[in-house]
Amino acid sequence: MDLNNLTIKKFHKGLLGKQFSAFEIAKAFFDYIEEKDSEIGAYLQLTKDLALLRANKVDIELAEGKKMEILTGVPLAIKDNILIENEPATAASKILANYRASYDAIVIKKLKKNNAVFLGKTNLDEFAMGSSTENSAFKITRNPIDLERVPGGSSGGSAAAVAADMAVAALGSDTGGSIRQPASFCGVVGLKPTYGAVSRFGLIAMASSLDQIGPIAKTVEDAAILFKEISGRDKLDSTSRDIEYGDELLNPKLENVRKLRIGIPKEYFIEGLDKQVSEAINLAIDSLKSLKIEFKEISLPHTKHALSCYYIIMPAEVSANLARFDGIRYGQTSDVNGKMSLKDIYLKTRGEGFGEEVKRRIILGTFVLSSGYYDAYYAKAQKVRQLIKQDFDEAFAEIDVILTPVSPTAAFKIGEKIDDPLKMYLGDIFTIPANLADLPAVSIPVKKTGGLPIGFQLIGKPFREADILGIGQFYEKL
């Protein structure tokens, strides 16, 4: 069975037309994953029993004439920091190697209500800390386009699974670009929704004021479909908002898209931007101009401080969130004996369970929150965050959408940056500001780049995912 370029829309049409059964497609995906994933390493574990059980249920309900929702039977991959009840949830860390989720994340509950099928849990940088999926405690994921290169991170496993046709679509999480950057590197679409548009309940937290769950898909339309189904208010997440996304999300009108003004921030086209990336972004701009959309140069002056600001706020929140992994509640070390003190248990569990990058960020976060340094670093970073938000607010008074590169480079080679954390961190320079400002942003592959995949980024006003997804859907039709 041909799984190549199978989208949510194509799957839904084929299922209703009885061209195949949900069980047949799920089985075909598992057969293909068994054949293909040994060289890519997108999945940490497969949820085969759960998937085939759910697919069989879909076929029975279809035979009974029950209504089939748009996501019914659709085979999805789920990043392994999102909980599925009774399934492993490791966050790619040794400290959670034997942990099984005791409940569903709210996004999973919503997808189960739609009778979606979960193929498995995908690899990531440990606790979502990284930009290459080389920081996983279990394996390195490779880019399906070029196996010598990284798929990006931290949602590299999800992006690789979609790009390699090992899932129709996937869920990832984005703290500073972890959906958009791997989507760009792998040539798929990745959406980071507005902070609060999607419930974070059941997401293993990294940095709570920055994390957001979002879709990775083959088309902008598929990303919009998946986003619409997982969005909405959740009483278990006080930061979530009750926003009603109407018909314009899935059925944008050209006349409305043409009314949108796109800003090009001069601070994003700087020295250090790879020539190939610059040329690709210009190709995307020229294509969008053919839609008769107005473009305007803008300035986001505090962008230059975004990276520094992020790498103070994020580690501080990491330090607080990962304190729960203490060997008592989570991550019990198997050979702890009764003579060990509580401090020794903590040291043993965390020393053996956390990887180098996680330890680095915990130490940095603890330092910036410590007495005498809180005001000098953390408090100041929060003030800079407000200035970055203010820049976007002022820009959005004149324009509706902002277009930027996703990453300064295309996918780099495995091992190229792993020993140089600062060089790795610089790769997030264009994605981080949207997280700091709580804005929606999408990475869309540039057409006909002639080489490695390169994405362009559209950043929208808060809860105006319809604007960036609308532009993206018409770009795909050009």
State in Å, rounded, how far the first CA of the chain is from the last one.
29
What is the domain count for the chain?
A: 1
Q: Is the pLDDT of residue 1 over 80?
A: no
Q: Is the pLDDT of residue 216 over 70?
A: yes
Question: Mean of the pLDDT values across residues 340-348?
Answer: 83
Annotated catalytic residue 154: yes
- The span from the CA of 351 to the CA of 313, in Å, is 23
Q: Is the pLDDT of residue 335 over 70?
A: no
Which stretch of 54-68, 322-336, 343-357, 450-464 has the lowest confidence by average pLDDT?
322-336
pLDDT score recorded for residue 333: 61
Whether residue 70 is contained in a domain is answered as yes
Question: Which tens digit of pLDDT belongs to each residue from 373-385?
Answer: 999 999 999 999 9
Q: 93, 132, 136, 178: which is the annotated catalytic residue?
A: 178
Whether residue 394 is contained in a domain is answered as no
Q: 132, 136, 154, 319: which is the annotated catalytic residue?
A: 154
- Work out the pLDDT band at 348, boundaries 50, 70, 90: confident
Annotated catalytic residue 79: yes
Whether residue 46 is contained in a domain is answered as yes
Give the domain CATH number at 149.
3.90.1300.10
Whether residue 19 is contained in a domain is answered as yes
Q: Is the pLDDT of residue 198 over 90?
A: yes
Q: Is the pLDDT of residue 334 over 60?
A: no
pLDDT score recorded for residue 246: 86
- Work out the pLDDT band at 285, boundaries 50, 70, 90: very high
Question: Which tens digit of pLDDT belongs to each residue from 132-171?
Answer: 999 999 999 999 999 999 999 999 999 999 999 999 999 9
Q: Which domain holds residue 108?
A: 8-249
Q: Is the pLDDT of residue 346 over 80?
A: yes
- Work out the pLDDT band at 449, boundaries 50, 70, 90: confident
pLDDT score recorded for residue 329: 75
Whether residue 354 is contained in a domain is answered as no
pLDDT score recorded for residue 86: 96
Question: Mean of the pLDDT values across residues 26-37?
Answer: 97
Q: Is the pLDDT of residue 332 over 80?
A: no
Whether residue 176 is contained in a domain is answered as yes
Q: 21, 79, 155, 407: which is the annotated catalytic residue?
A: 79
pLDDT score recorded for residue 336: 61
Whether the CA torsion 147, 153, 154, 155 is positive or negative: it is negative
In this structure, what token pair is assigned to residue 43?
């999945």
Question: Mean of the pLDDT values across residues 440-444?
Answer: 98
Average pLDDT, the chain: 95
Q: Is the pLDDT of residue 341 over 90?
A: no
pLDDT score recorded for residue 371: 87
Annotated catalytic residue 102: no
- The span from the CA of 117 to the CA of 50, in Å, is 8
pLDDT score recorded for residue 2: 78
Sheet with 294-298: list strands edge to edge: 43-46, 117-122, 75-79, 169-173, 213-217, 189-192, 441-445, 455-460, 401-405, 261-265, 294-298
Whether residue 369 is contained in a domain is answered as no
Question: Which tens digit of pLDDT belongs to each residue from 233-283?
Answer: 999 999 999 998 988 999 999 999 999 999 999 999 887 899 999 999 999
pLDDT score recorded for residue 213: 98
CB 117 within 8 A of CB 58: yes
Whether residue 243 is contained in a domain is answered as yes
